[in-house]
Chain A
Amino acid sequence: MAELLQFVLTGVTVGMVYALIALGFVLVWKSSGVANLALGQLVLISSWFSYGMLVQAGLPLWLGFILVIIFALILGWVIERFILRPLIAQPILSLITVTLGMAFFIEGAVSFIWPKSVAALPRLFPQDPIRIGTAVVSQEYLWAAAISLLLFGLLSVYFKYHKMGIAMRATADDQMAVQACGIPVTKIFSRSWMLACVLAAVGGVLMSSIGGITFGLVHTGLKAFSVVILGGLDSFLGAIIAGPIIGLAETVGGGYLTPLTWPGVREVIPFIIIIIVMFLKPYGLFGERRIERI
């Protein structure tokens, strides 16, 4: 029983971070219709960048984080301005594959600048584990979940009340109408990429404070895909709900299925969920079913 409680707690909290990263995907998809397959690589490069700032340059935590956020903003702006903007109105196949090229490039850049394969961030959160009932959970998980929840809250306030946030929602709804109202759509695209990169950076720092910086962070991005597939590509709520579900399935399934099947089953559970969702409910839990016209 204690085991189960432990799996549930770690699963749900890690799932929150997945949801955070997945939100960045949904944001870009909704506003510009680009499927960002380089999500995992964005997580990877911002984690390494924070390593560079905090450990290699030895900056204090607060300054390091501000620099990481600035780096993510610049990265998002550069990606949108120089890679995606020339491809506006190209077929979806090009938009997907260009992000694959980007993924390749970022991975190369990471192994160019940081040739090590493993590194650890300095301690960000208190270390002593917390006992909840019979389960023992390390505090990092709870902090990660709390920060994710805080960001969800901030984002929803931003989308509800800020002028730019409202414009972004409007763009998601109808691009043509927004353009006719005089809102610069390219600016919206740029903002959504910058926000997506920031979310990936925060998710990356949280994930690497839990598990260290490894190449496995790319898989975090892939898990975020299963979150968006389960939740529905164009639903913020779907991502927030599906995140903990995926995290839960991963830890609980991994915990109980490993003795029955092969080791490493935990890593493929998100992908098996993707295939099941594709067969049963391809547009996810909250996704909008697309009705097409010829």
Chain B
Amino acid sequence: MDLPAGTRNYTYAQDMAIFRTKTHWAMLIALLVILFTAPLYWGNYWLGVANLIGITIIAATGLNILTGYCGQLSIGHAGFIAVGAYTSAVLTNRLDLPFLVGLICAGLTAGLIGMIFGIPSLRVKGFYLAISTIAAQFIIIWVISHWSGVTGGYTGISVPPASIGGITFISQSSQFYLIMVITAVVIFLAKNLARTRAGRAFVAIRDNDLAAEVMGINLFRYKLLAFFIGCFLAGIAGSLLAHWVGFMSVEHFSIADSILYIGMIIIGGLGTTVGPIFGVIFIRLLQQGITFIAPLLEGTFDLPAGFTTGIGPMVFGLAIILFLILEPRGLAHRWQLFKASYRLWPFSY
């Protein structure tokens, strides 16, 4: 980690610290204070947007562990989120189990399903894996939409609001606290996971899986672990989504969403902890902007009727392409550059 001039590490604990200087701590506390007092001065609409962003950050962090750190491309992430959402919905709606049980089971089920579809990753990679995860997405959605006895099929399933120990999270602001706490915990764990043995093994596998195996990394174990963790977080996000929306149907989990998740982590920056956060905020705010501005433009300039539906995918596709060509390391890299120049300011080096 780059440190301000004059700050030196004298112990290993200092070297390992995520928040090293007093300024870091002050900024962290300021961020948390602003975040957790947000419901006081944000309207319900923006709290809803923030909730969606929080849920998406959890899912994108999972995908980032799988794709960004371990290098296993998954284009079926929305399918795994669907598994989590429906597990939680079925457990709490049909079996009347508490929310926390549903949340944990959602993560575990999604993780297990992810591991099953991750087994081909032991023999193939790259395009083959991408296709098998696309296949996973279609098979999962097909099963969910036809197993109507359990999942409600095309008509969908209603989900009771989340409640923990007597507190029911119904309003946007109460759900905001629930989602933000879980998001913060997930980000913290993801940051630390990257620095453990498993995280380093993931990076080794991403950079060259053959070399990693020769160095003594058990590919079977770590690739499946990456799939499990990535899909576990997808399941958690799915469960939160189900309880937040209150009603689940398969339209929430299309292949386009899976591609959008990939786009988010690419725009944010693969293999960094802040990457998914930046990417998710970028894409979700872009979506908000487009839903706001597209009808206005269409009305003002008398554009053809397809403009409003077509402009969204076009902008996202273009964003993914441009980021890959112009800034493949994503917004996280820009953030690094900004921090470095901020530290040295007003000198150039």
B interface secondary structure, majority:
helix
The residues in B between 169 and 223 inclusive whose CB is less than 8 angstroms from any CB of A are: 208, 210-211, 214
Report the separation of the CA atoms of residues A96 and B142 in the bound assembly, to the nearest whole angstrom.
25
Docked pose: A45 CA to B243 CA in angstroms: 38
The stretch of B132-140, B226-234, B334-342 in contact with A is B132-140
**Given contacts A96-B126, A282-B123, A292-B210, is CB(A104)–CB(B320) below 8 Å?**
yes
**Is B317 a contact of A87 with CB atoms below 8 Å?**
no
Residues of A with C-beta under 8 A to B318: 101, 105
Given known A-B contacts A105-B313, A115-B306, A97 and B324 have beta carbons under 8 A apart: yes
The answer to whether A278 touches B75, judged by C-beta atoms less than 8 angstroms apart, is no
Interface-centre pick from A29, A96, A101, A115 (highest chain B CB count, 10 A)? A101
Q: List, in ascending order, chain A residues with CB within 8 A of B325's CB.
A: 83, 86-87, 98
Q: Once the chains bind, are A263 and B320 in contact (CB under 8 Å)?
A: no
B interface footprint on A89-110 (CB within 8 Å = 1, 0 otherwise): 0101110111011111111111
Which residues of chain B from 249 to 283 have any CB-CB distance to chain A below 8 Å in the complex?
256, 259-260, 262-263, 266, 270
Kindly report which residue of chain A lies nearest to residue B141, judged by CB atoms: A268
> Which residue of B211, B256, B328 contacts A90 across the interface (Cβ within 8 Å)?
B328
A62 within 8 A of B: no
Tell whether, in the assembled complex, residue A97 and residue B320 are in contact, meaning their CB atoms are under 8 Å apart.
Answer: yes
Identify which of residues 111-127 in chain B touch chain A, using a CB-to-CB cut-off of 8 Å: 117, 119-120, 123-124, 126-127
Q: How far is the CA of A226 from the CA of B139 in the complex (A)?
A: 14
Q: Is A195 an interface residue (CB 8 A)?
A: no
Q: Tell me whether B120 and A112 are in contact (CB under 8 A).
A: no
B73 to A96, Cβ gap below 8 A? yes
A143 at the interface (CB under 8 A from B): no
Chain B residues 293 to 314 lying within 8 A of chain A, measured CB to CB, are 304-307, 309-314
> Contact between A37 and B321 (Cβ–Cβ < 8 Å)?
no
CB within 8 Å for A278 and B120 given contacts A83-B321, A102-B321, A294-B210: yes
| Residue A249 at the chain B interface, CB threshold 8 Å | no
Question: In this assembly, does B24 line the interface, its C-beta being within 8 Å of a C-beta of chain A?
Answer: no
- Could you mark each residue 202-240 of chain A with 1 if its beta carbon is under 8 Å from any beta carbon of chain B, else 0? 000000000000000000001001100100010000000
Task: With CB as the reference atom, state the residue of chain B lying closest to A225.
Answer: B131
Indicate if A272 sits at the interface (CB-CB under 8 A).
Answer: yes
A-B contact pairs, 22 of them (CB 8 A): A37-B75, A37-B130, A93-B126, A98-B320, A101-B318, A101-B319, A105-B317, A108-B315, A111-B306, A112-B304, A112-B307, A115-B310, A222-B134, A233-B128, A262-B146, A262-B147, A268-B139, A271-B138, A271-B139, A274-B135, A275-B135, A282-B128
A-B complex: 6 closest residue pairs judged by Cβ atoms: A112-B310, A105-B317, A108-B313, A101-B320, A104-B317, A115-B306
